Amino acid sequence: MNALRQMHLNLFVQPFGHHEAAWRHPDTDVNGLLDFSFFRRLAHKAEAAKLDSLFFADRLSTSRDAVRYGASGGYEPLTLLTALAVVTKRIGLIGTVSTSFNEPFNLARRFASLDHLSGGRAGWNIITSGTDAEARNFNLEHIPEHAARYERAREFVDAAIKLWDSWEDGALVRDKGKGIYADSDKVHECNHRGPHFAIKGPLNVSRSPQGRPLLVQAGSSENGKEFAAEFAEAIFTAQQTFEEARSFYADLKRRAAARGRRPEHILILPGLCPIIGRTEEEARQKEEELAELLNPEYSLIMLSQRVGFDLTGCKLDEPLPPLPVGEVRGHRSRTELIVELARRERLTVRQLLHRLAGGRGHRTVTGTPEHIADMMEHWFRSGAADGFNIMPQLTAGGLDDFLELVVPELKRRGLFRTEYSGTTLREHYGLPQPENVFAAGRADRQRSSV
């Protein structure tokens, strides 16, 4: 592999940490969930370490049980990222927005605005949503079928791209003398019409610094992988083992190449949930402290939501009961991962809950900075990852441990940048500016007429 190749690191911001019990830890400030200064401090720390981006997930529902036992509720991602754009300079800003419960014009406008406000640091994590609880907040009784959600998502993203590209580079003239603000030949009506959307356009925001936001995707089902191969420029994935990660990595690169894309222009970034100690003993002690704070009743509620089946009556010290995975309408790939994990390692329900508590199915790792850097380097150099979505199990102290202990070790090995070389998120990822679909069409017509 190229000796100059370096890994990409994003901070997946879960305010208190990705462990289910992180909010109960003695070091956690439980007032931070709606305290902007708390998020500003996290952003400044990540930017000082030269991380590629901040990443915010989103879910469009909660429940009385969830708020009783777990820290739930918080800022809408794009609102928070817009505020963080003002107090940061270089770090990327990736927000999750669902294609199932939004419209392309509104979303394209919001992301174009964020890209302008941040100087080209916006990214869109594209999800289809996957629970009935979310559907019931948007006039539906059940979430649409898996394939139907991805059909809508494909059209949604295609329409959004047309809207972002409806203004070409150089469309703004701003000639006061001639009274010409924009070159109307470089501003286009989209005239999109499909099964789900009819949009005339153009967008009422001019082309943003990156042309369009970085497109990110997190699904690992068959539909999700095909969608990613077509649109995604970065993929956040959950892989438990090196062999699974390497297989996923090769599969996505192959699918992208089959669609005429360059494989290096689609970055695979598995989630990594670390607990770090200066010694193995210290790391294990931190892990045990979090495990002792778990509430099995809450963990069963969370597991039920993830797999789409009610498991709240399961006996904790027996194996996970058989689940009809093929009937899953929602998060199918995550359900398959959880069921396979329980089967492969012969876990009881209690053991499975402990394994999932730290990262909801993402790879959890406990150890010294050197141990964690070794694992990251192995995956990176051996065709399993282009970098990682970092998900500290405990934010209080755990984030500092990663930034102050692991990141310097990665830099010492030449695996991570010591300084930003660009100003946009695409530049951080080493990705080109996307070609404008309308400008490309005009160029093709000109070539064919010669």
Please check whether residue 116 lies inside any domain of the structure.
yes
pLDDT over 50 (residue 50): yes
pLDDT, mean over the chain: 92
> For 53-81, what is each residue's pLDDT tens digit?
999 999 999 888 888 888 888 999 999 99
Tell whether the model's pLDDT for residue 450 goes beyond 60.
no
Question: What is residue 307's predicted lDDT score, i.e. its pLDDT?
Answer: 76
Write the pLDDT tens digit of every residue in 120-130.
999 999 999 98
Banded pLDDT at 16 (limits 50, 70, 90): very high
The yes-or-no verdict on residue 327 having pLDDT over 70 is no
Least confident range of 167-171, 200-204, 229-233, 337-341: 337-341
pLDDT-based confidence at residue 2 (cuts at 50, 70, 90) = very low
Q: What is the mean pLDDT of residues 83-99?
A: 98
Residue 391 falls inside a structural domain: yes
Q: Quote the CA–CA distance of 199 and 202 in Å, as a whole number.
A: 9
**Which residue range(s) make up the domain with 137?**
8-279+363-449
Would the pTM of this model clear 0.75, i.e. be above it? yes
- Average of pLDDT values for 339-351? 83
Alpha carbon of 358 to those of 26, 66, 270, 404: distances in Å? 17, 17, 15, 21
Residue 337: inside a domain: no
What digits encode the pLDDT tens for the residues 147-191?
A: 999 999 999 999 999 999 999 999 999 999 999 999 999 999 999
Residue 349 included in any domain: no
Within-domain flag for 101? yes
- Confidence band for 194, pLDDT divided at 50, 70 and 90: very high
pLDDT at 433 over 80: yes
314 belongs to a structural domain? no
pLDDT tens profile 211-268: 999 999 987 888 999 999 999 999 999 998 999 999 999 999 999 999 999 999 999 9
CATH number for the domain that contains residue 371 = 3.20.20.30
Number of domains comprising the chain:
1
Percent of the chain with pLDDT over 90: 75
pLDDT grade for 447, boundaries at 50, 70 and 90: low
Each residue's pLDDT tens digit, 30-45:
999 999 999 999 999 9
Examine the pLDDT at 328 and tell me if it is beyond 70. Answer: no
Q: Considering the domain boundaries, does residue 105 fall inside one?
A: yes
- 426-434 average pLDDT score: 96
Is 430 a member of any domain?
Answer: yes
